[in-house]
Structure 1
Amino acid sequence: MAAKQLEGQIPSSIVVIEGGIQAIEKMNPNWVVTQGKTVSIERQVRIAAGTLVLSGVLAGLFVHSAWFALSGFVGAGLMFSGITDSCAMGLILAKMPWNK
């Protein structure tokens, strides 16, 4: 069991809940409170791509000119995504825990 493997390796205590999230929801259906709106995968891709491009430009200006390649790589990825109608970054972001 994963809890036994983690014992002593992390500073906090581990609690195993039989039945998982569904069991908690049956005991107290109001335990999960969501606030705000969700961010679509498409918006997450645009935010991530924009952040990477801006980071590449700033690092290229202030750290080393080789960082400009990051912006070029992201731009090439966006072109490929538009041509093939497939987005690797979107697929990766869709698998993130906050998108489940």
Structure 2
Amino acid sequence: MARYLAVVPVRFTHEPAEDVLNDFNDALAAYDPRGTRGRIVTRRTDAGDLTFSIIVEAADDREAKRVAGETATSALLETGHRSDTATVRGDAIEVIPG
């Protein structure tokens, strides 16, 4: 298994409040690439998605994208989101072997 840095775009149907982002961030804290468990929102894409950088372990790039998507989706569900309020953009996940 290799480690990958995954940049996961999430599309929220409404601009998320700070506490919503904090809850989501906390749910992903164990995957923080810096090991600091701090804010992991990295940027807003041209499409308006928020991206989150996380570390995942996988056998190859394809599996890393799948694991990253599942991890982010689980964090969304854990924080009370449904598919009609926030969606992981699995087709746009980027992974970098690390």
TM bucket (normalised to shorter chain) is under 0.3
Task: Give the strand-richer structure, 1 or 2.
Answer: 2
Question: TM-score, with normalisation over the residues of structure 1?
Answer: 0.24
Question: TM-score, with normalisation over the residues of structure 2?
Answer: 0.24
In terms of Rg, which structure is larger?
Answer: 1
